[in-house]
């Protein structure tokens, strides 16, 4: 066998043979190297020359093909296309081409969202780079700049998408700033006006002082943030014998909301007790604000934690406290008669004994839970405390004009003087028990990266649970109609259905207005007062945005 192998190896017939001639490949005119950098523009030019998209539609229509409409979720016209744009548009191109191949007449009209904060933010940046503030520019000039800016980027992005080879009806693109689009938006808006779905309300919404606008949930992201924490005493003015002469203790990470306090929330399932301070910790380098003889009301489960923060070394439980019907005084009442109002204790399921004191300081203009519990107990007046810049209104005693957050310069997004000023006044009034600092997850605007606040502001809303009472919808509510439509729609991937269904199910109403200069107007007039107009601008006319949920978002500031 070895001899045979040697003979085969040494055979002159096989020595040095080129085996390529034994490999049989299909014959093609394609070059060995594709030369895509040169070839691809030629292919795109050929498609454009023959009008490939329209030719495909014409052929399908001639054959009586069924219509398939792909709606384009429009990108913002505020910059060159990036990898996210490329991914979205190429995936849509797969859908268009595959549906053509399956025999459909595919209608795909690309569009652009030209209104709202993304466009305004770019113009504001441009103005700042030239040393100008937005407030120094007229609304007319500002809107003209926004329109020109968006129009410029529509052209740039369209060329970028066509360079990707995306088939679409590019000649008849739509844009939200087209006057025809704005007219259609107003027409749809008036359907809500006519059906009594529209109302003007006042409630706390996520607000960015840096951008001077309300934010939807999708525009908020959470980052670690260090906040001041304070334990505050509210003297009891009405309650049991053990409660009178004592103070209810609250804990908050937003000292600046104390001037807006109107109530204290408690939970009927939590055990509360009145405690007397017997002695303070020894060897301290400072004098605590607590004093022997003070009487404090806290949740029993959290008492030790509260007293540790207040440097109380020894205490005694006096009696169990029933919070129902209790009333307190505002801790700043001694400094200004404006705060000389009653602060009732209100039962609320959102109160827990996981942290704090077992009580929740309630400022209905600065928190979703605060607002809900305040309204649930029959109260309707929501105090106006902080303006669009995140500063106290001039009418707020002791603190008028002070900013919660800095909005300009290198300190933009940092805490302003409001928190320290409130703490100093609480010390002066004898209302502060303890203070500290806490690093926690806090909401920020994804655009400016600055912290946001809950702020009460008048807005326009559409009711979700009012019967539509129209021939098309009968007595169903907007929520019911929307949920039925969601169930009847195919989602790819299916997780998209759960996301939008959860959002529609949990929202009490839809927030549709913004305090912005560049948007489609809410055009309406009162039938009784012809001079009344909805002048607030919408930021995203292509879709309605949700108002804050009834329950707080995980990671929101502890209040």
CA dist., res. 154 & res. 74, Å (int): 11
Is 419 a member of any domain? Answer: yes
- Summarize the confidence of residues 331-342 as an average pLDDT: 89
Residue 156 CB contacts under 8 Å (≥ 6 apart), including other chains: 80, 81
Listed ranges 360-374, 417-431, 496-510, 542-556; the one with the highest mean pLDDT: 417-431
Residue range(s) defining the domain that contains residue 513: 193-214+458-546
Q: pLDDT at position 331, please? A: 92
Q: pLDDT at position 100, please? A: 96
Q: What is the DSSP letter of 217?
A: G
User: Do residues 239 and 209 share a domain?
Assistant: no
Computed on alpha carbons and rounded to an integer, the radius of gyration of the chain in Å comes to 33
Bridge partners, residue 435, by sequence? 230
pLDDT at 545 over 60: no
338 in helix, strand or coil? helix
Lowest mean pLDDT among 25-39, 178-192, 373-387, 538-552: 538-552
User: Do residues 418 and 465 share a domain?
Assistant: no
Q: What is the CATH number of the domain that holds 303?
A: 3.90.740.10
User: Do residues 308 and 400 share a domain?
Assistant: yes
pTM of the model: 0.63
Is 5 a member of any domain? Answer: no
Q: Say if CB 393 and CB 226 are below 8 A apart.
A: no
Torsion angle of alpha carbons 480, 482, 488, 494, nearest 10°?
A: -120
User: Do residues 278 and 417 share a domain?
Assistant: yes
User: Do residues 235 and 260 share a domain?
Assistant: yes
Phi-psi region of 275 (alpha: psi -120 to 50; beta: other; left: phi over 0): beta
Q: Say if CB 230 and CB 255 are below 8 A apart.
A: yes
Q: pLDDT at position 438, please? A: 81
pLDDT at 7 over 80: no
Q: pLDDT at position 67, please? A: 95
6 in helix, strand or coil? helix
Q: What is the CATH number of the domain that holds 152?
A: 3.40.50.620
49 in helix, strand or coil? helix
CA angle 87, 92, 93 (to 5 degrees): 95
User: Do residues 419 and 487 share a domain?
Assistant: no
pLDDT at 196 over 90: no
Q: pLDDT at position 58, please? A: 96
272-290 b/e (C-beta count within 10 Å ≥ 16 → b): bbbbbbeebeeeeeeebbb
Q: pLDDT at position 11, please? A: 57
- Summarize the confidence of residues 180-184 as an average pLDDT: 89
CB atoms within 10 A of CB 520: 23
Q: pLDDT at position 4, please? A: 53
Q: pLDDT at position 12, please? A: 56
Query: 381 vs 422, which has greater pLDDT?
Result: 422
CA dist., res. 457 & res. 461, Å (int): 12
Q: pLDDT at position 307, please? A: 87
- Summarize the confidence of residues 387-411 as an average pLDDT: 85
Q: What is the DSSP letter of 212?
A: T
Tokens of 163: 């360079």
Is 183 a member of any domain? Answer: no
Run of H or E including 3: helix 2-10
Q: pLDDT at position 105, please? A: 96
On the 0-12 / 13-18 / 19+ scale of CB atoms within 10 A, 489 is exposed
470 confidence band (pLDDT: 50, 70, 90): low
User: Do residues 370 and 479 share a domain?
Assistant: no
415, 445, 475 - which closes a domain: 445
Q: pLDDT at position 555, please? A: 35
Is 148 a member of any domain? Answer: yes
Is 320 a member of any domain? Answer: yes
Q: Say if CB 65 and CB 104 are below 8 A apart.
A: yes
Lowest mean pLDDT among 62-76, 249-263, 270-284: 270-284
Is 357 a member of any domain? Answer: yes
Q: pLDDT at position 528, please? A: 41
Q: pLDDT at position 546, please? A: 33
421, 445, 469 - which closes a domain: 445
* β-strands 105-109, 67-71 pairing: parallel
Q: Say if CB 91 and CB 491 are below 8 A apart.
A: no
Q: What is the mean pLDDT of the chain?
A: 82
CA dist., res. 371 & res. 386, Å (int): 15
- Spatial CA neighbour of 102 closest among 72, 70, 67: 67
pLDDT at 481 over 60: yes
Bridge partners, residue 228, by sequence? 437
Please count the CA atoms within 13 angstroms of the CA of 368 that sit on its side-chain side.
18
CA dist., res. 160 & res. 74, Å (int): 15
User: Do residues 262 and 274 share a domain?
Assistant: yes
CA dist., res. 534 & res. 517, Å (int): 13
User: Do residues 204 and 260 share a domain?
Assistant: no
556 CA to centre of own chain: 12
Q: Say if CB 195 and CB 465 are below 8 A apart.
A: no
* β-strands 263-266, 272-280 pairing: unpaired
CA angle 439, 440, 446 (to 5 degrees): 120
Tokens of 252: 């908050």
pLDDT at 34 over 80: no
Query: 475 vs 2, which has greater pLDDT?
Result: 475
- Summarize the confidence of residues 120-132 as an average pLDDT: 85
Is 24 a member of any domain? Answer: no
User: Do residues 279 and 163 share a domain?
Assistant: no
- Summarize the confidence of residues 102-107 as an average pLDDT: 96
Q: Say if CB 199 and CB 461 are below 8 A apart.
A: yes
Phi-psi region of 24 (alpha: psi -120 to 50; beta: other; left: phi over 0): beta
Q: What is the DSSP letter of 5?
A: H
pLDDT at 169 over 90: yes
Determine phi and psi for 33, rounding to 5 degrees. -110, 125
552 confidence band (pLDDT: 50, 70, 90): very low
Q: pLDDT at position 83, please? A: 94
Q: What is the domain count for the chain?
A: 3
CA dist., res. 402 & res. 406, Å (int): 10
Over the stretch 149-158, which tens digit does the pLDDT of each residue have?
999 999 999 9
> SS in 3 state form for 108-124?
EECEEECCCHHHHHHHH
CA angle 76, 82, 83 (to 5 degrees): 120
User: Do residues 252 and 359 share a domain?
Assistant: yes
CA dist., res. 291 & res. 373, Å (int): 33
Lowest mean pLDDT among 78-92, 217-231, 377-391, 505-519: 505-519
Q: pLDDT at position 14, please? A: 58
- Summarize the confidence of residues 326-352 as an average pLDDT: 88
Listed ranges 91-95, 130-134, 409-413; the one with the highest mean pLDDT: 91-95
pLDDT at 453 over 50: yes
pLDDT at 85 over 90: yes
In percent, the amount of the chain with pLDDT more than 70 equals 89
Is 494 a member of any domain? Answer: yes
Tokens of 446: 């994804």
User: Do residues 112 and 54 share a domain?
Assistant: yes
- Summarize the confidence of residues 445-459 as an average pLDDT: 82
């Amino acid at each position: 066998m070895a001899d045979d192998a040697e003979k085969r190896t040494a055979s002159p017939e096989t020595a040095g043979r080129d085996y390529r001639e034994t490999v049989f490949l299909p014959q093609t005119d394609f070059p060995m190297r594709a030369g895509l950098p040169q070839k691809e523009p030629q292919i795109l030019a050929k498609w454009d020359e023959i009008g490939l998209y329209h030719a495909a539609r014409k052929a399908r229509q001639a054959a009586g093909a069924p219509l398939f409409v792909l709606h384009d979720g429009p990108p913002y016209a505020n910059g060159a296309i990036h990898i996210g744009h490329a991914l979205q548009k190429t995936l849509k191109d797969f859908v268009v081409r595959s549906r053509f191949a399956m025999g459909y007449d595919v209608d795909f009209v690309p569009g652009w969202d030209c209104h709202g904060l993304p466009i305004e933010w770019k113009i504001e940046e441009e103005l700042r780079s030239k040393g100008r503030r937005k407030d120094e520019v007229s609304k007319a000039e500002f809107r003209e700049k926004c329109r020109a800016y968006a129009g410029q980027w529509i052209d740039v992005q369209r060329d970028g998408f066509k360079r990707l080879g995306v088939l679409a009806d590019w000649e008849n693109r739509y844009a939200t700033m087209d006057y025809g689009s704005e007219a259609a938006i107003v027409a749809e808006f008036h359907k809500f006006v006519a059906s009594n779905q529209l109302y003007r309300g006042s409630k706390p919404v996520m607000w960015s002082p840096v951008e001077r606008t309300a934010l939807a949930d999708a525009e908020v992201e959470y980052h670690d943030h260090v906040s001041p924490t304070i334990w505050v005493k509210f003297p009891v003015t009405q309650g049991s014998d053990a409660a009178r002469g004592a103070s209810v203790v609250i804990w908050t990470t937003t000292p600046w909301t104390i001037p807006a306090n109107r109530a204290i929330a408690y939970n009927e399932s939590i055990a509360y007790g009145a405690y007397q301070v017997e002695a303070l910790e020894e060897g301290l380098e400072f004098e605590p604000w607590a004093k022997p003889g003070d009487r404090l009301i806290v949740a029993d489960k959290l008492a030790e934690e509260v007293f540790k923060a207040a440097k109380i070394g020894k205490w005694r439980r006096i009696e169990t406290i029933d919070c129902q019907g209790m009333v307190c005084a505002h801790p700043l009442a001694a400094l200004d008669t404006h705060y000389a109002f009653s602060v009732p204790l209100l039962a609320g399921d959102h109160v827990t004994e996981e942290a704090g004191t077992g009580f929740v300081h309630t400022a209905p203009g600065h928190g979703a839970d605060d607002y809900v519990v305040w309204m649930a107990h029959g109260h309707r007046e929501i105090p106006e405390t902080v303006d669009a810049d995140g500063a106290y209104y001039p009418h707020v005693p002791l603190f008028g004009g002070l900013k919660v957050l800095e909005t300009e310069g290198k300190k933009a997004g940092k805490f302003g003087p409001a928190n320290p000023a409130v703490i100093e006044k609480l010390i002066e009034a004898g209302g502060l028990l303890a203070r500290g600092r806490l690093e926690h997850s806090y909401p920020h605007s994804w655009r400016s990266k600055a912290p946001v606040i809950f702020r009460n502001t008048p807005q326009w809303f559409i009711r979700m649970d009012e019967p539509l009472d129209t021939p098309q919808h009968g007595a169903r509510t907007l929520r019911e109609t929307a949920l039925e439509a969601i169930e009847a729609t195919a989602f790819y991937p299916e997780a998209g259905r759960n996301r939008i269904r959860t959002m529609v199910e949990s929202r009490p109403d839809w927030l549709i207005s913004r305090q912005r200069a560049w948007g489609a107007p809410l055009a309406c007039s009162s039938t009784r007062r012809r001079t009344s107009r909805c002048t607030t601008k919408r930021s995203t006319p292509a879709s309605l945005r949700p108002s804050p949920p009834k329950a707080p978002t995980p990671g929101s500031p502890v209040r």
